[in-house]
Amino acid sequence: MDSDYVFVNLWGKPHGHPLTYPAVYDLVRRLRRRTATDFGPHWYRHTAATRMLRDGVPVEVVSKLLGHADLTTTTSVYGHLTVEDVREALDEAGWFTARKVRR
Protein backbone atom coordinates (compact mmCIF):
# COMPACT_ATOMS: atom_id res chain seq x y z
CA MET A 1 0.00 0.00 0.00
CA ASP A 2 1.35 3.41 -0.91
CA SER A 3 1.29 5.54 2.23
CA ASP A 4 3.43 8.17 3.93
CA TYR A 5 2.65 6.71 7.35
CA VAL A 6 4.68 4.16 9.32
CA PHE A 7 1.71 2.66 11.15
CA VAL A 8 -1.11 2.28 8.66
CA ASN A 9 -4.61 0.94 9.09
CA LEU A 10 -4.60 -2.17 6.89
CA TRP A 11 -7.54 -4.14 8.28
CA GLY A 12 -10.06 -1.68 9.64
CA LYS A 13 -11.60 1.33 8.02
CA PRO A 14 -10.55 3.76 6.75
CA HIS A 15 -7.84 1.77 4.94
CA GLY A 16 -4.53 3.53 4.40
CA HIS A 17 -5.07 6.07 7.13
CA PRO A 18 -2.66 6.34 10.06
CA LEU A 19 -3.32 4.21 13.10
CA THR A 20 -4.26 6.15 16.21
CA TYR A 21 -1.76 6.31 19.08
CA PRO A 22 -3.81 3.88 21.20
CA ALA A 23 -4.00 1.42 18.27
CA VAL A 24 -0.21 1.57 17.74
CA TYR A 25 0.50 1.00 21.42
CA ASP A 26 -2.00 -1.87 21.50
CA LEU A 27 -0.26 -3.47 18.49
CA VAL A 28 3.16 -3.04 20.12
CA ARG A 29 1.88 -4.46 23.41
CA ARG A 30 0.60 -7.57 21.61
CA LEU A 31 3.83 -7.98 19.63
CA ARG A 32 5.94 -7.60 22.77
CA ARG A 33 3.92 -10.28 24.50
CA ARG A 34 4.15 -12.69 21.53
CA THR A 35 7.86 -12.17 20.88
CA ALA A 36 9.16 -11.43 24.37
CA THR A 37 11.01 -8.49 22.82
CA ASP A 38 11.17 -5.21 24.68
CA PHE A 39 10.62 -2.31 22.26
CA GLY A 40 8.41 0.68 21.73
CA PRO A 41 7.00 2.38 18.64
CA HIS A 42 9.34 5.35 19.08
CA TRP A 43 12.27 3.04 18.28
CA TYR A 44 11.10 3.02 14.65
CA ARG A 45 11.75 6.75 14.52
CA HIS A 46 15.35 6.21 15.67
CA THR A 47 15.78 3.32 13.24
CA ALA A 48 14.45 5.32 10.31
CA ALA A 49 16.72 8.28 11.12
CA THR A 50 19.80 6.06 11.42
CA ARG A 51 18.96 4.24 8.19
CA MET A 52 18.50 7.50 6.28
CA LEU A 53 21.82 8.87 7.57
CA ARG A 54 23.61 5.62 6.68
CA ASP A 55 22.07 5.77 3.20
CA GLY A 56 23.51 9.24 2.65
CA VAL A 57 20.43 11.39 3.18
CA PRO A 58 21.78 14.79 4.31
CA VAL A 59 21.38 15.38 8.04
CA GLU A 60 19.48 18.61 7.27
CA VAL A 61 16.83 16.60 5.41
CA VAL A 62 16.56 13.95 8.14
CA SER A 63 16.29 16.69 10.77
CA LYS A 64 13.50 18.40 8.83
CA LEU A 65 11.60 15.12 8.38
CA LEU A 66 11.79 14.45 12.11
CA GLY A 67 10.70 18.01 12.93
CA HIS A 68 13.85 18.88 14.87
CA ALA A 69 14.72 22.54 15.43
CA ASP A 70 18.40 21.70 15.92
CA LEU A 71 20.66 19.40 13.87
CA THR A 72 22.41 18.38 17.08
CA THR A 73 19.27 16.55 18.21
CA THR A 74 19.23 14.57 14.99
CA THR A 75 22.91 13.63 15.12
CA SER A 76 23.36 13.02 18.83
CA VAL A 77 20.01 11.46 19.77
CA TYR A 78 18.70 9.86 16.57
CA GLY A 79 21.80 9.18 14.49
CA HIS A 80 23.05 5.93 15.98
CA LEU A 81 26.06 5.79 13.71
CA THR A 82 29.03 3.58 14.47
CA VAL A 83 32.75 3.94 13.87
CA GLU A 84 32.27 1.61 10.91
CA ASP A 85 29.68 4.00 9.44
CA VAL A 86 32.14 6.88 9.73
CA ARG A 87 34.99 4.85 8.23
CA GLU A 88 32.78 3.79 5.29
CA ALA A 89 31.72 7.39 4.60
CA LEU A 90 35.33 8.59 4.70
CA ASP A 91 36.43 5.71 2.47
CA GLU A 92 33.71 6.52 -0.08
CA ALA A 93 34.82 10.16 -0.01
CA GLY A 94 38.35 9.05 -0.91
CA TRP A 95 40.06 9.90 2.38
CA PHE A 96 41.88 6.57 2.61
CA THR A 97 43.32 6.50 -0.90
CA ALA A 98 46.87 7.53 -1.71
CA ARG A 99 47.05 11.13 -2.81
CA LYS A 100 49.76 12.77 -4.83
CA VAL A 101 51.56 15.51 -2.99
CA ARG A 102 51.74 18.81 -4.89
CA ARG A 103 55.13 20.46 -5.08
The domain spans of the chain are: 1-40, 42-103
Whether 1 shows a pLDDT value over 70: the answer reads no
Q: How does residue 102 score in pLDDT terms, banded at 50, 70 and 90?
A: low
CA distance 103 to 99: 13
- Residues 88, 94, 75: CA angle, nearest 5 degrees: 45
Query: pTM of whole model > 0.75?
Result: no
- pLDDT computed for residue 74 by the predictor: 93
- pLDDT computed for residue 55 by the predictor: 92
Query: 64-69: which pairs have CB atoms within 8 A and are 24 or more residues apart?
Result: none
User: Are residues 43 and 51 in contact, defined by beta-carbon separation less than 8 angstroms?
Assistant: no
- pLDDT computed for residue 14 by the predictor: 83
For residues 15-29, average pLDDT:
90
- pLDDT computed for residue 99 by the predictor: 62
CA distance 86 to 84: 5
- pLDDT computed for residue 98 by the predictor: 66
* Residues 35-79 pLDDT 10s: 999 999 888 889 999 999 999 999 999 999 999 999 999 999 998
- CA neighbor of 49 nearest in space, from 80, 84, 18: 80
